[in-house]
Amino acid sequence: MGSVLTVSQFTPSKQVIAEAVGTLSFGGVVVMPTDSVYGIGCAATPHNPAHERIFEIKQRDRAQTLPWLVADFDDLTRYGADVTQEAIALAMAFWPGALTLVVRASDDVPEEYRGADGTIALRMPDSNLVRAIARGVGVPLATTSANTHGAAAATSGAGVEARIVAEADLTLADLTLDAGPAPLAIASTIVDVTGPHPRVLREGALDAARVLAAARS
């Protein structure tokens, strides 16, 4: 059975980071806190079997894609293609934070992680823990909320469904990180920046009007 570790999102220990990096690097999945809600993720590497396992654990349609959690601002233009100035302005205004940007995927995004329309959703969370893990793995983390598809997202470690924890800890290759309550306790706001103007796909932790105003400034 995998491990459950108590962690801090903002002052994570090097030992916890190293254990999570090792888990992800060897094809495991990690249930982890973020600034918004709890997620379940894997290293966004080509042909990673953990990618498929996440869909099975979440009971989610494989036709959908997983957003990526990135470590640094430069990842927007590394994994996004033809990134607009409005997209850059939004990242500068709200990253790290609860803003997910849907961009056209660059050649650095493996085919299996792209949407049918050739896009990828990127977010830099306000979590020193998650960013350090992604930086340590060397690739973004393909992550979705840690709940059965259609159920409410978990906003604390204790709120993660027992089934999710059990299935994510079936082998020694997996890991669950518990940092208590998520600071925001609401999912990120998602904005499509692939068109001529930003378009809010989901209003979450960030007010839609505020986000659109920042894109125009």
Rounded to an integer, what distance in angstroms lies between the CA atom of residue 164 and that of residue 141?
A: 18
**How far is C-alpha 34 from the geometric centre of its chain's CA atoms?**
8
The answer to whether 110 touches 44, Cβ cutoff 8 Å, is: yes
Task: Read off the pLDDT band of 162 (50, 70, 90).
Answer: confident
Around 95, how many Cα atoms within 13 Å sit in the side-chain half-sphere? Answer: 21
Per-residue confidence (pLDDT) for residue 149, from 0 to 100? 87
Q: Which CATH class is domain 3-216?
A: alpha beta
Q: What Cα–Cα distance (Å) separates residue 65 from each residue in 57, 142, 144?
A: 14, 9, 9
Task: Read off the pLDDT band of 195 (50, 70, 90).
Answer: very high
Per-residue confidence (pLDDT) for residue 49, from 0 to 100? 94
Q: Is the backbone peptide bond immediately before 96 cis, with ω within 30 degrees of 0?
A: yes
Q: Tens of pLDDT along 15-25?
A: 999 999 999 99
Task: Read off the pLDDT band of 2 (50, 70, 90).
Answer: low
Task: Read off the pLDDT band of 170 (50, 70, 90).
Answer: low
Worst-scoring range by mean pLDDT, 36-50, 96-110, 165-179, 191-205?
A: 165-179
Q: Tens of pLDDT along 69-123?
A: 999 999 999 999 999 999 999 999 999 999 999 999 999 999 999 999 999 999 9
Q: Tens of pLDDT along 11-66?
A: 999 999 999 999 999 999 999 999 999 999 999 999 999 999 999 999 988 888 99
pTM (two decimals) = 0.95
Q: At what angle do helices 14-25 and 128-137 cross, to 10 degrees?
A: 50
